[in-house]
Structure 1
Amino acid sequence: MHTFNRNPGAAKVRRRNLSRHEQPAPFPMDRPALYFDHAATTPLRPEALDAMRPHLGGVFGNPSSAHRWGRQARAALDEARAECARAVGAEPAEIAFVRGGTEADNMAVLGRAAVAVAAGERPRAIATTIEHPAVREACDEVAARGGESVQVEVDRAGELDKDALADALARGACVLSVMWVNNEIGTVLPVERVASRARAAGVVVHSDAVQAVGKVPVDFGRAGLDLASMTAHKIGGPRGVGLLYRRRGVELAPLLFGGGQERRLRPGTEDVAGAVGLAKALTLAVAEQAAEAERLAAERDRLQAAIVDALPGTRVFGEEGERAPHLLNLGFPELDAATLVMAFDLAGVAVSGGSACASGSTTTSPVLRALYG
């Protein structure tokens, strides 16, 4: 939830400002509570936990070991990879297990920049103005290392500025990153159309699909993407594991060194239990997507209508274009977002004041600033 310009006619709300170090009394967990922050993280699905259990104890081998214990772990890892590939429209060889969405985004942007540098070129990274910080700051890092970061504006309906995109692509780039669903306001971007234009210009295209998987139909191969990121904990899987899709034939340099795991993209012993949990949660999320989208959209619209009716002056962000069903972003006059989040928490309701990756920030969301000024 976010604030916007003050409305002199809005009702005053009596509140006490909490210092940043002051902690509220713990909410009794046996009291009824509402968790409205699934865009930040979701509870682990029982099915995912059940799938993981054998790999948290008995199946303990290193997947790189040649003995039977290692082969048992490798078989589970390979099956998890195949399951994930089927769910997102990819081949198993195109799936790399990683630490999560942030790592996958960094691997896509900085890995492509490293390919350009190795070829003797100055890297240029293109991204929209409403990307997740993992993409936005990775592009900033490209510039800090002597490359160039180019931002393409997006309107409130999720459409990219056509002239700016055409100009950016015409000048060449090591990567174009365009998110599938915005993580704050839920706007769905035209990934397939943008990917088509990028590939026609010979530019590798990446999409942060963290908030898209399980919420809107997703098929990385059909969308024409070269690279894509997603994470398990947004869809009922375990925290700390995600995947990077890399289309066959796309060059990508690793960010880490010291092993040949994950086709040398992500060295280190794989988290077999995490991969298995991700595969189970992803398979279920994709299978349930259509029904869940219908249910979530109805719940979101009902909640939105009730709040807007009860609190005149409430502003709804993200309504101008296609919107993913699970996100509702509201602004309230005269209310500070951080104070409001704390008040909800004291009442046993979990909400967020913006991107979970910007937790603690008191500045206006870059996404809202880019779209609404």
Structure 2
Amino acid sequence: MPVRTTRGRARVTSFLTNAAEHPSVLDVAKRLKRQGLDVTILPVDHHARVDPQRVADAISPQTRLVSVMLANNEVGTINPIAEIGRLCRERGVLLHCDAVQAVGKISVDLQQLPVDLLSLSAHKFHGPKGVGALIVRRDGPRIPLEPLFDGGRHEQHLRSGTLPVPLIVGFGTACELAKLTRSASEGDEAIGVCDDSPSLALRVSVAGIAALRDQLWQRLQAELEGLSLNGPPLVERLPNNLNFSVAGVDGEALMSGLKEIAVSSGSACSTAEPEPSHVLRAMGVPEVLSRTSLRFGLSRYTTEAEIDIAVAEVVRVVKQLR
């Protein structure tokens, strides 16, 4: 919404983003370019990280809006949003930040992040599907937004349609639980948040999720050769993310052979796409390895038993294909 709707009243003539953004931003950028807008797509480094200085150098007097994600959805890279935001403010440019992947996994403090617009989605931290939020900063000049469609005048005329109260309540509860998850990690102690079934007790420590992720990667490396990590070192990415490529196998056969686990080869939104990941391509990963990439996303519900299953399944399929 912010990428599309800050154009009209704000007279945006130049929009800046990067090659590793989610398609929800990149596809809009392509549309804006077809409509005559000046669109700049910045490169990223081999970890899919955006260089703040590149952003600063690319901002022109016509640039009105920059969009950079807080954390990459495929390889878990955490971008230096605080520095990018500072540079944008110095130049009088609005910054939109896609924080969909970050909320619930790392600290997202709007008092510390100098962003003007921030988007998030409930289902990425165990909330209901179909509800999200666009947070608009109010201190400073009013940010001009236009509705995606007209009628109803809901949400201060920005988003027409009857408000889905159950989804909104679920969204709020998910935010509360996400905060508990972060608090447990920062305090290094477990918080008893669970339902009546002990088997569904929440794992409410981000550090615990990261430990399981690390265990998964270490065990796979011990069992298989030819694995290469995609993205930054594990300690520098989202605690729930693991993305790696498997050399010496057919990518399509690898994905179709994994029957017991839910895993993707790129963005979870586009697993049916025949093309390799645009994020890995932007990072410079060879196409042959991009086509054999596997992305695991852990959660507070992930158990050690599930790690056992995942390791056994990947090892079984890779050895069959080799």
* TM-score, normalization by structure 2: 0.77
Give me the whole-angstrom Cα distance separating, in 2, the residues matched to 1:286 and 1:260.
32
The equivalences for 1:118-137 within 5 A come to 123-137=13-27
CA gap of 1:337–1:283, structure 2 versus 1, over 3 A, is farther
The answer on 1:170 being equivalent to 2:64 is no
- Aligned-pair distance for 1:198? 0.7
Contact 1:187 1:324 in 2 (8 A): yes
Q: What is the match of residue 255 of structure 2?
A: 341
Q: What is the match of residue 314 of structure 1?
A: 227
- Aligned-pair distance for 1:335? 2.5
Q: What is the match of residue 73 of structure 1?
A: none
Q: What is the match of residue 358 of structure 1?
A: 270
Q: What is the match of residue 299 of structure 1?
A: 212
Cα deviations by residue, 1:142-166 (Å, 9 ceiling, x for unpaired)? 1111102111222134543455322
Give me the whole-angstrom Cα distance separating, in 2, the residues matched to 1:245 and 1:110.
15
Q: 2:226 is aligned with what amino acid? A: G
- Unpaired runs of at least 5, structure 1: 1-106
- Give the alignment's Cα RMSD to 1 decimal: 1.7
Q: 1:220 is aligned with what amino acid? A: L
Give me the whole-angstrom Cα distance separating, in 1, the residues matched to 2:72 and 2:281.
14
- SS at 1:192's partner residue? helix
* TM-score, normalization by structure 1: 0.67
Give me the whole-angstrom Cα distance separating, in 2, the residues matched to 1:268 and 1:221.
31
Query: Given the alignment, which residue of 128, 131, 137 partners 1:241?
Result: 131
User: Across the two proteins, how many residue pairs are aligned to each other?
Assistant: 261
Q: 1:235 is aligned with what amino acid? A: F
Contact 2:52 2:83 in 1 (8 A): no
- Aligned-pair distance for 1:181? 0.6
Give me the whole-angstrom Cα distance separating, in 2, the residues matched to 1:316 and 1:161.
21
Cα deviations by residue, 1:349-370 (Å, 9 ceiling, x for unpaired)? 1111110221211211110001
Contact 1:297 1:325 in 2 (8 A): yes
Contact 1:338 1:353 in 2 (8 A): no
- Aligned-pair distance for 1:256? 1.1
Cα deviations by residue, 1:66-123 (Å, 9 ceiling, x for unpaired)? xxxxxxxxxxxxxxxxxxxxxxxxxxxxxxxxxxxxxxxxx11011122334xxxx52
Contact 1:116 1:123 in 2 (8 A): no
Contact 1:214 1:235 in 2 (8 A): yes
Q: 1:364 is aligned with what amino acid? A: P
- Unpaired runs of at least 5, structure 2: 186-204, 286-322
Contact 1:341 1:350 in 2 (8 A): no
Q: 1:363 is aligned with what amino acid? A: E
Cα deviations by residue, 1:134-193 (Å, 9 ceiling, x for unpaired)? 011111111111102111222134543455322322343221000011000001001111
Q: 1:328 is aligned with what amino acid? A: L
- Aligned-pair distance for 1:259? 2.0
CA gap of 1:227–1:247, structure 2 versus 1, over 3 A, is same
Q: What is the match of residue 252 of structure 1?
A: 145
- SS at 1:151's partner residue? strand
Query: Given the alignment, which residue of 83, 93, 101 partners 1:193?
Result: 83
Q: What is the match of residue 289 of structure 1?
A: 182
Contact 2:85 2:113 in 1 (8 A): yes
Give me the whole-angstrom Cα distance separating, in 1, the residues matched to 2:252 and 2:121.
26
Consecutive aligned runs of 4 or more in structure 1 exceeding 6 Å deviation? none
Cα deviations by residue, 1:28-63 (Å, 9 ceiling, x for unpaired)? xxxxxxxxxxxxxxxxxxxxxxxxxxxxxxxxxxxx
Give me the whole-angstrom Cα distance separating, in 2, the residues matched to 1:158 and 1:283.
30
Give me the whole-angstrom Cα distance separating, in 1, the residues matched to 2:9 and 2:206.
38
